[in-house]
């Protein structure tokens, strides 16, 4: 099932191998990234594959809030100046796998390492209204859901947008029962995509007006909610990918958006992992994962290793062939490939519109997540068995 092999990233990255310097990795085709924490498991998995793949690349990264990452890459000379995590080769650590914390390199590069990619897990407009400087472009990747969570011991099953407005916007004084004590309302900094996305989803704008007990890391929120001694009054916010691997400890609250008749989970049920409601527009709080990098006049990433990585994340064909299906890693990480989406939006918490993917992967996605709808899918090896449709990722799609 989803995420079984994923790290929970519940502790800061720790060195598992002998200390190395970041400068020593510069000869190993590095790509330096600033990541939002929600995407670390996916990048570790993809990083491991491409470290040993047909285009060996060393992923070196730090995690920070989405808006912190964006603020760095728009600088004239963006850098990573502190110790960073990296994906080791088999030679460097034959026992390492993505379920383990990534080892760290000591930042010894004078002035820091040039930053190649900044990741935001909300639309950039949630961080800044300023356009990107010339020479930078944003690429929208897989879709990330966010969710309000409560302890297992809570009787609550859903939250409406208006309840969220009063719960978080009034610091526990909004008379939105039972979430009326700020000591049990757990939030994150407004540089974090989880905070930005969910506050904007309930109409708290700017998100800095969202109040509660401030914690610094999504895992802190998860633990605070799960271990609360007052479960009924407790509520928190996490990314769905984190929740999906911690469902034994807490529960997601279904969400009812403004103008919506019912509250829904990101998945079709509270126990499934199919992201049906997210994909079809019934679940409102979601954002794209956005990757910002330097581009040429044609809008193509100037660093070919960055282009290769982003193509893998977006599900584009790569040369040489990767030798694995990166979309499988995307799905396992708990995010949804754009090719499996049936709705889209253009601004954070903005209106939804229908989306018809040019190269859909609905059946592939539904098969990977065990969706009931996958039973209606037809396996294929080429287009000949798909009628007017196309064979994609081993299944017939409409186009």
Partner 1 sequence: MTKSNATPAANALNASTEKPVMANTKSRIRAVAVFGGALIAASALAALAAGCDDSTTPRETVPVAPVADSGARDTGSTTIPGTDGGTGTDAGPLDCFPDPKTHEEIINRCSNSEKIDKNPTLPLLYADGGLPPLPN
Per CB under 8 A, which of residues 174..233 are in contact with partner 1? 174-177, 200, 203-206, 209
Chain-centroid distance, C-alpha 122: 9
H/E stretch holding 70: helix 66-73
Rounded least distance, CB 295 to partner 1, Å: 8
Single residue of 216, 270, 356, 383 touching partner 1 by CB under 8 A: 270
Name which of residues 284 to 313 contact partner 1 (CB under 8 A). 284, 288, 290, 299-301, 307, 310-311
At 369, is the secondary structure helix, strand, or coil?
Answer: coil
Closest CB 115 distance from partner 1, rounded Å: 19
Q: Minimum CB separation from partner 1 for residue 281, in Å? A: 4
Asked if 276 interacts with partner 1 (CB under 8 A), we say yes
Of positions 42, 122, 124, 333, contacts partner 1 by CB under 8 A: 124
Binding status of residue 158 toward partner 1 by CB under 8 A: yes
Q: Which part of the chain contacts partner 1 (CB under 8 A), choosing from 8-16, 51-59, 89-97, 340-348?
A: 340-348
DSSP state of 386: S
* Residue pair 325/393 in contact by the 8 Å Cβ criterion: yes
Residues 6+ apart with CB under 8 A from 343: 279, 280, 281, 352, 353, 354, 355
| Alpha carbons 172 and 187: distance in angstroms, whole number | 12
Does residue number 147 form part of the binding site for partner 1 (CB under 8 A)?
no
Pairing state of beta strands 84-86 and 58-63?
A: antiparallel
Burial 91-124 (b: 16+ CB within 10 A, else e): ebbeebebeebbbbbebebeebbebbbbbbbbbb
Residue number, 12 or 133, with CB nearest to partner 1: 133
| 355: alpha, beta or left? (left if phi > 0; alpha if psi -120 to 50) | beta
Q: How far is residue 300 from each of residues 67, 190, 293, 304, measured CA to CA in Å? A: 23, 31, 9, 9
Q: How far is the CB of 304 from partner 1 (least distance, A)?
A: 12
Task: Assess 86 for contact with partner 1 (CB under 8 A).
Answer: no
Residues 355-394 that bind partner 1 (CB under 8 A): none
Considering only residues 241 through 260, tell me which ones interact with partner 1, judged by CB under 8 A: 254, 256-260
In terms of CB distance, is 314 or 361 closer to partner 1? 314
| Residue placing its CB nearer to partner 1 in the complex, 164 or 218 | 164
Interacting residues with partner 1 between 25 and 84 (CB under 8 A) = none
Among 81, 216, 346, 385, the residue binding partner 1 under the rule CB under 8 A is: 346
Q: Which helix (H) or strand (E) holds 111?
A: none
Residue range at the interface with partner 1 (CB under 8 A); choices 58-66, 181-189, 338-346, 390-398: 338-346
Under rule CB under 8 A, residue 111 binds partner 1: no
| Tokens read off for 247 | 């469902």
163 binds partner 1 (CB under 8 A): yes
Asked whether position 319 contacts partner 1 by CB under 8 A, the answer is no
CB of 139 to partner 1, least distance (A): 6
Question: DSSP per residue over 275-339, as a string?
Answer: -HHHHHTS---EEEEEEEEEB-TTS-BSSHHHHHHHHHHHT---SS--SS-HHHHHHHTT-B-GG
343-344 and 353-354 as β-strands: parallel, antiparallel, unpaired? antiparallel
Q: Is 21 in the site for partner 1 (CB under 8 A)?
A: no
Give whichever of 102 and 314 is closer to partner 1, judged by the CB atom.
314
351 binds partner 1 (CB under 8 A): yes
- Member of 123, 148, 186, 395 binding partner 1 (CB under 8 A): 123
Shortest separation between residue 301's beta carbon and partner 1, angstroms: 8
Using alpha carbons, select from 104, 40, 42 the residue that is nearest to residue 326.
Answer: 42
Q: What does the alpha-carbon distance between residue 362 and residue 327 come to, in Å, rounded to a whole number?
A: 12
Q: Does 6 bind partner 1 (CB under 8 A)?
A: no
Q: Is 261 in the site for partner 1 (CB under 8 A)?
A: yes
Q: Do 199 and 210 touch, CB atoms closer than 8 A?
A: yes
Q: Tell the smallest beta-carbon distance from residue 296 to partner 1 (Å).
A: 12
């Amino acid at each position: 099932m989803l995420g079984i092999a994923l790290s929970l990233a519940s502790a800061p990255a720790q060195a598992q191998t002998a200390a190395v310097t970041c400068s020593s990795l510069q000869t190993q085709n590095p790509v330096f990234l600033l990541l939002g924490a929600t995407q670390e498991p996916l990048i570790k998995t993809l990083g491991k594959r491409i470290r040993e793949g047909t285009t060996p690349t060393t992923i070196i990264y730090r995690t920070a809030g989405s808006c912190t990452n964006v603020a760095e890459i728009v600088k004239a000379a963006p850098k990573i100046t502190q110790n960073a995590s990296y994906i080791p080769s088999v030679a460097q650590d034959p026992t390492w796998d993505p379920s383990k914390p990534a080892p760290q390199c000591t930042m010894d590069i004078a002035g820091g390492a040039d930053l190649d990619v900044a990741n935001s897990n909300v639309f950039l407009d949630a961080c800044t209204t300023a356009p990107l400087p010339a020479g930078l472009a944003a690429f929208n990747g897989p879709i990330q859901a966010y969710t309000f969570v409560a302890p297992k011991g809570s009787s609550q099953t859903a939250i409406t947008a208006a309840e969220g407005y009063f719960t978080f916007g009034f610091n526990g004084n909004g008379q939105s029962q039972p979430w009326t004590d700020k000591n049990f309302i757990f939030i994150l900094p407004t540089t974090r995509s989880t905070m930005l996305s969910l506050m904007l989803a309930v109409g708290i704008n700017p998100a800095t007006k969202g109040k509660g007990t401030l914690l610094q890391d999504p895992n802190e929120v998860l633990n605070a909610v799960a271990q609360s001694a007052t479960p009924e009054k407790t509520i928190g916010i996490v990314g769905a990918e984190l929740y999906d691997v911690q469902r034994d400890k807490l529960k997601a609250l279904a969400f009812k958006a403004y103008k919506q008749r019912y509250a829904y989970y990101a998945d079709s049920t509270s126990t499934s992992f199919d992201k049906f409601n997210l994909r079809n527009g019934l679940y409102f709080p979601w954002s794209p994962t956005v990757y910002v990098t330097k581009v040429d006049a044609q809008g193509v990433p100037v660093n070919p290793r960055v282009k290769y990585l982003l193509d893998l994340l977006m599900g584009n064909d790569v040369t040489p062939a990767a030798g694995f299906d990166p979309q499988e890693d995307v799905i396992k990480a708990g995010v949804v490939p754009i090719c499996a989406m049936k709705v889209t939006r253009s601004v954070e918490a903005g209106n939804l519109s229908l989306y018809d993917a040019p190269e859909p992967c609905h059946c592939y996605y539904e098969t990977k997540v065990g969706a009931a709808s996958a039973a209606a899918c037809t396996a294929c090896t080429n287009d000949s068995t798909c009628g007017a449709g196309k064979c994609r990722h081993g299944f017939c799609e409409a186009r």
